[in-house]
Structure formats: structure tokens, C-alpha cells
Amino acid sequence: MKRLESIAWAGAILWLVVWNTSAAALLSPPSGLAWREFTIEGVRREALVYAPARARTNPAPVVFVFHGHGGNARQAARSFALHQHWAEAIVVYPQGLNTPGRLTDPDGRRPGWQSAAGDQGDRDLKFFDIILAWLQREYRVEPGRICVTGHSNGGAFCYLLWAERGDVLAALAPSAASASPAMVARWKPKPVLHLAGRNDPLVKFVWQQWTMAAVRRVNGCDQAGRSWGERATLYPSTTGAVMAAFIHEGGHAFPSDGGATIARFFVEHARALGTSKPARKD
């Protein structure tokens, strides 16, 4: 009996060791990133931040990456990997709070982002403002090169940021997302890359087509586009506010080459309007 009890205790201890190791792996940030905490109206918020060493002495672009509903900052860092694809940029992966979803999770049991201006007291717009202000104090943020990207609910939040914080944005790259007419009414021309799956079962492709058409209209893009890489079409604009559509045959998942494509778009087009670098011909 004592031997069985010893075995049971040993097994329990082993389980605790494995559980704690797994928990530590889940909580620890990916290599090169660090957790930063912010308090906004008494609520603690967190973000994973990557900052190249030279960002304290040399101007550096900034990219915010917003995870989808039910996701988290660590997942976004793994799937987008913008800190690897654009190592010269400061990259921020904010963590959302539990939020009612418009397509799933109506009770708000999983983390996400506000869907419209005024939702949840604009807590996520304020979160963006606080992080950006902190970055501008801590680093040499390059003027005119602040970019945002995100997937699904995170991509929709990028479109909301364009409407509500467009004056500070250089470019955006939403994935698997759609915008509302209220957002579109407040947009001013900005370079945009939109990533969409033709077979998306959640954010219907037809909704995304409507959003991309609205982007082209606001940006004053040419009707005819040209090839930009293997799966993207670039629509030039006389204002420099180009629109690129990256269309894949998949569903709602973020494409494996999405992060590299977003980094390339930002490198080429995240500049103040009127001084945009001409798009490269493929």
C-alpha cells in the first residue's frame, strides 16, 4: 500500500512539474519580445513589444498587430511574425480583453476588440493611444510610418482605427475583415493591403469584396490593377494611396505567407501621402 501511495505521489509531482513547465511556456514571450503593462482608467492592459536596439537612437517605423477574436498576442506574434519579417520596425502585439463578438461569442467570454466607435467606452482606441504615446517617449518613432494590421476582429479594428485615428496612420493591412458604412464615411486616403480567403465561412468573401471596393473608391484607385507578387493585385492611385488585394483560396485562417506580404507592403508604401515610393514593377 505504501509503495502504491509513493507511486501516486510521484505521479502527482511529475504532473505538477509538467503542468508548470507547460504553463510557463504559454506565458513566456517569444524570443526577442517582452511584455509591457499599461493601466487605462484603472484597468491593466498588456502588449508584447519588439524593439530593435537602434530604435532608441535612430528613427524606426512602428507596426501594431491585432489578434482575432478569441486569439491572443502570443498567437499573433507567431502567425504574423512581423518582428522577424521587418526587423527594423518596432512591433507591438496588443492583448485584447473579453469582448462580445458580432459573429461569434455574443456573451463576450473571449478576448477581442471593440467593433465600433463608442463600444466598451472606446477602451481599445484609448489603449492604442496610450501605447503609441509610450513608444514616442521611449523610442525614436519615425514620423509618417505608423502602421496597423490584424486578423478577423483585429482586422476590423484596423479599419476602425483608420476612421478614428487615421491622422496618425501611414498604412494598414487588415486580414479576413470587413468594414461598416459608418467607418467608410470617415476614411481619408491611406495605402491599404487587404488579405482575404475566397472560402471564408465566417467573414464572407462578398462582405470583404464590398470593403475592398470601398477602399479603392476612397483612395481614388485605378479601376484596373496589376500583378503584385504571386497572389496579389495592386491598384495604383495618383495620390499615392494604393490598394493591394491579396486573395487566397483558403478560408478564415491567416495565410502562411501573410506576414511576409504585409511587411513588404509596409516597406514599400508606409510613407506620408504625396511622398510615397513608386510601387515596384514585378
Q: What is the pLDDT of residues 69-78, one digit of tens each?
A: 999 999 999 9
Q: Tens digits of per-residue pLDDT, 216-275? A: 999 999 999 999 988 999 999 988 899 999 999 999 999 999 999 999 999 999 875 444
Contacts of 75 (CB under 8 A, 6+ apart): 67
User: 10 Å Cβ neighbour count for 120?
Assistant: 18
Across the chain, the runs of DSSP E, i.e. the strands, are 34-40, 43-50, 60-66, 90-94, 97-98, 111-112, 141-151, 171-175, 192-197, 226-227, 232-235, 243-248
Beta 192-197 vs 171-175: how paired, if at all? parallel
The residues spanned by each domain of the chain are: 1-30, 32-269
Q: Tens digits of per-residue pLDDT, 190-218? A: 999 999 999 999 999 999 999 999 999 99
pTM, 2 dp: 0.87
How far are the Cα atoms of 127, 136, 140, 167 from residue 132, in angstroms, in the given order? 9, 6, 12, 13
Residue 144 pLDDT grade (very low, low, confident, very high; cuts 50, 70, 90): confident
Give the CATH fold of the 32-269 domain: Rossmann fold (3.40.50)
Q: Which three cell numbers stand for residue 231?
A: 497572389
Average per-residue pLDDT for the chain: 89
Best CA proximity match to 177, nearest among 147, 143, 212: 212
Radius of gyration of the chain (CA): 21
CB 172 within 8 A of CB 196: no
| Cα–Cα distance, 234 to 214 (Å, whole number) | 15
